[in-house]
A and B are shown apart, each in its own frame.
Chain A
Amino acid sequence: WRRNHRNTSCVIMSNNMQFMLLFSRQGKLRLQKWYVPLSDKEKKKITRELVQTVLARKPKMCSFLEWRDLKIVYKRYASLYFCCAIEDQDNELITLEIIHRYVELLDKYFGSVCELDIIFNFEKAYFILDEFLLGGEAQETSKKNVLKAIEQADLLQEVRYVIKPPWEQ
């Protein structure tokens, strides 16, 4: 072992996702989640560029590509593309499975999810993603636990807290 000490703070955890985009085969953006602070202009530029690049790729091509300083991991599910940007040191395969786990969660929640579910309930799609990933890190990888948390949140929907929540009284 020689001198390849890495600066620990840079690589402390595994996947440091920069952003996730969901878009349709027609190139319509369905969901965007950014884990790095960027200007709207930049976000738009990146989105345009990536949608174009990914849509141009053929089915049998590999799911990873180098793009700027980042690695892009993408996968197509029916009419939707799920596309994540990770850093150089990050694990591509586990990112593919993060995408898959998210799809499973959507599927379970909506019951056989389709693009329309995500269009009409985009806020739910966001909430599910937030329950699963935090700041780009998988915070809860158990499908059961994520769904449980979402169901609990759904139960809270119509509860009005008068002054304090019940468990505080």
Chain B
Amino acid sequence: MPAVSKGDGMRGLAVFISDIRNCKSKEAEIKRINKELANIRSKFKGDKALDGYSKKKYVCKLLFIFLLGHDIDFGHMEAVNLLSSNKYTEKQIGYLFISVLVNSNSDLIRLINNGIKNDLASRNPTFMNLALHCIANVGSREMAEAFASEIPRVLVAGDTMDSVKQSAALCLLRLNRTSPDLVPMGEWTTRVVHLLNDQHLIVTSASIDLQDYTYYFVAAPWLSVKLLRLLQCYPPPEDAALRSRLTECLETILNKAQEPPKSKKVQHSNAKNAVLFEAIALIIHHDSEPTLLVRACNQLGQFLQHRETNLRYLALESMCTLASSEFSHEAVKTHMETVINALKVSLAQFGSRDVSVRQRAVDLLYAMCDRSNAKQIVAEMLSYLETADYSIREEIVLKVAILAEKYAVDYTWYVDTILNLIRIAGDYVSEEVWYRVIQIVINRDDVQGYAAKTVFEALQAPACHENLVKVGGYILGEFGNLIAGDSRSSPLVQFNLLHSKFHLCSVPTRALLLSAYIKFINLFPEVKATIQDVLRSDSQLRNADVELQQRAVEYLRLSCIASTDILATVLEEMPPFPERESSILAKLKKKKGPGKLPDMDDSRRSVNGSTDSTHSFTDVLNLNPAPSSGANLLIDVFSESSAPAAATDVSEENFPRFVCKNNGVIYENQLLQIGLKSEYRQNLGRMYVFYGNKTSTQFLSFSSSVSSSDLNVHSKAVDPVIEGGAQMQQILNIECVSDFSDAPVLNIQFRYGGALQNIAVKLPVMLNKFFQPTEMMSQDFFQRWKQLGAPQQEVQKIFKAKHPMDTEVAKAKILGFGVALLDGVDPNPANFVGAGVVHTKTTQVGCLLRLEPNMQAQTPNGNAAPPATDPSFPFGAGLPGSHLGICSRCRGEQGDGFVGLKGTWPKSHELKVAFDLASFLPPDGRVCERLLLRT
């Protein structure tokens, strides 16, 4: 045991620590600790008052026990006593205990705060410093509440010593950061700025020797980094002289990097490069001086080959942000070979596999990719994938898939790339990736033949990944005929090849293959008998899996009874998929978290990622998000409480499901099922109502009528009898006369087994059904948006996320809502923007919609979202929760007006649906799956 070197030794403490260290086993240690805890407890509870020294010693022992990883639930009171002692060492230990073992007991906190208050008021600089340290180190909300008003007073008081002022300033900063609402900076900023000048004076002119702040031959690195960081809070100076001075400074820093080092110590190079990287961060932030950007890029290029792993890592990271600047993108590209090399070198180097460096290299390759180098980069990433760490494989797969699609000039390359992906890393190829290749092949007939040939060849491999079997099954089922002319890939060969994989596959893949087989029967009548034999075998017809069995039975029957014409119709080639954004991108974003993904758009935008644009957008619009209760045109669409009073209870259980779609089941009970199919054009709509008798008995005296206060609804008369098990159709013609909020109600009466049945169903006819989508350019959109500033023209609503959100689902929902989805209008790619016109007989009302992810919100379950009426709440700014707004102009008086609909989602790594109206619906993004089943 070393002698306690300085200060007041606490012998008892040292002995205790020695004892613990001498314990031979974990059990012995715990036993010794428990003994000590019991001892301390009895001392604290004992009748004899403990002197300060003993208290201090025991509190220290508790601290040590805590550090060993044991819970400590007492001693706080003694610590508070020590804290109030007027002996420095006791006070110091008291503060240490309190700040390490923060306790939330409110009585205790009151006592602690009291002690701190006394010390702050003591005018003893040592005590004041201890108190300020404690406040800053604990930094909790309670602390901020208790001292928010006290600390600024200390800071600006004339007689406070400089060292205390410094602590007070940092303390205030800390509290401002943790509780900005309690410690608003605004009030104090000016006075703090004065202080800043003050300190500068002290530093430059007075007694302190600057030599003390030189760190391994680097002048004041901490201060330099801080100042460079501070500058990143502002745009580049507009004043030309100031601007050139700043450029000069940055050039000096870049020049210094080229000078020979003044010391071989790593501390020297670290401190120097810390300043350099901060300067580069500022250059990237300004993103306005092409020469500086290119110089920065070349500097980073040098670091890419540095022997220090740390520098390589940081250089890769910085370059990633640099790659998204239009000025330096080209410069970054010149270093591609080096990056690829870094990737390879780090694999071989020292036998150590540093994933983080390679992860960065892959990020950078992705960011620097464009049409000119896509083939090379994708090839490199593919070859790297073969040896890549498991932890980053899925991400590389997604990145390759995105790049291959985005920069595909000829789609044969795309198909090859994806099949290679499946071959190399099949396990990491998610559904999105292989769905996507199928969508693209189906939509592009120039690549179908090639795709069929390629999958056919790939399937020849003795062992191929199940994902390849899926893609192969689907593509051959659709386009096998394109290669059937070649005897080497005749229909029978194709079928045998696919079927040879059948028994090795999982149930979903087998189901897909069965669908491919029935498609084969349609494509190639010559293999019909062979396939029917397979379907007829016991392993299919009596398969234990219900889905497989059902498919086998149905497909077999279908192939036997249907005529060639019917077969050809039922099993026709799949229609093209609607063009839409790749869901792979959404998946990658989800994986990486928003903001971490370099902006992939060709028009390169803010280099700092998308998170910032929310703010600036708000600034431009200067919206006052105060909703007006009188003018909520669309809001009624979402409210369920506005049902008209009716004699029977009006069923509206399924009503919200129809906000974004037109077909489905609106009502069902034990007797009757009512299905709807509707279509709308301008201010007219037609609704097909299907009444299904679920019983085996007749419905008699069946009648139906529609009551509506606002809409013109004409219903055709129906047959008074519905047979058991039968379905009857009724057509409703609907005309929208003017804007309305009450949906029509369908009243039904019939007799079942002598009893009269009365049913009333609210029909899903909402105002948004009469939307006509409108395309609009970005400029027009925002010009109109800005014009709609009056309070009665805009309403907004805040939503909590309800469902996990997927971009595709959200898009589908917005489209279903009736507006046109405007791509590339909003500068922030995460936002959704839409426009449409509501058509009524008397007027037309243009509507703008904007749905805005709230990138700043921390957690979905954080603080409650502020009320929408709070005018101080900046739209989309950093508050958890989300909101959706609707705005409308008073119609009628001024002719056509606009309704805007705006909303935000809370940011979280999985974006959540906050779109209230749409989140009523079950997620319906299963297009791919369903289409596959129909094959």
Contact = CB atoms under 8 A, between A and B. Distances in A.
Interface of A: 1-9, 11-16, 28-37, 40, 44, 58-66, 69, 89, 91-94, 96-97, 100-101, 109-111, 116-117, 119-124, 126-127, 130, 134-145, 149, 153-154, 156-161, 165, 167-168
Contact of A97 (B17, B132, B267, B619): B267
B478 interface: no
A89 B21 CA distance: 41
Contacts of B277: 91-93
B167 A144 contact: no
Given A8-B233, A37-B102, A121-B5, A92 B226 contact: no
Contacts of A59: 352
Nearest to A63: B310
B229 A11 contact: yes
B141 A37 contact: yes
12 contacts: A3-B613, A15-B225, A35-B137, A40-B71, A63-B309, A63-B310, A64-B310, A93-B310, A97-B274, A123-B92, A134-B167, A135-B136
Nearest to B92: A127
Given A64-B313, A126-B96, A135-B171, A6 B233 contact: yes
A4 B140 contact: no
Interface stretch (B176-184, B248-256, B642-650): B176-184
A48 to B, nearest CB: 9
B138 A37 contact: yes
B352 A61 contact: yes
Nearest to A57: B354
Interface of B: 1-2, 4-8, 14, 17, 21, 60, 63-64, 67-69, 71, 86-89, 92-93, 96, 100, 102, 123-124, 126, 132-133, 136-141, 163, 166-167, 170-171, 173-174, 176-178, 180, 185, 208, 212-213, 215, 220-223, 225-226, 229-230, 232-236, 267, 270-271, 273-274, 277-278, 285-288, 309-310, 312-314, 349-350, 352, 354, 356-357, 593, 605-608, 612-613, 615-616, 619, 827, 856, 878
Contact of B612 (A6, A8, A9, A141): A6
Contacts of B89: 156-158
A4 B136 contact: no
Given A4-B607, A29-B69, 10 more contacts: A5-B612, A6-B612, A11-B232, A16-B177, A36-B139, A37-B139, A62-B356, A97-B274, A134-B136, A142-B212
A139 B102 CA distance: 23
Contacts of B14: 120
Contacts of B123: 168
A112 to B, nearest CB: 11
Contact of B310 (A62, A89, A157): A62
Nearest to B64: A122
B310 A120 contact: no
B613 to A, nearest CB: 6
Nearest to A16: B177
Contacts of A40: 71
A145 B162 CA distance: 13
B274 A60 contact: no
Given A91-B274, A93-B270, A134-B171, A124 B137 contact: no
Nearest to A101: B215
A120 to B, nearest CB: 6
A138 B222 contact: yes
B309 A60 contact: yes
Contacts of A30: 67
A1 B292 CA distance: 13
Contacts of B163: 149
A109 B6 contact: yes
A145 B166 CA distance: 14
A23 to B, nearest CB: 10
A32 B67 contact: yes
B124 A9 contact: no
Given A40-B71, A61-B352, A157-B7, A130 B314 contact: no
Contact of B356 (A9, A61, A127, A144): A61
B613 A13 contact: no
Contact of B230 (A9, A12, A109, A134): A12
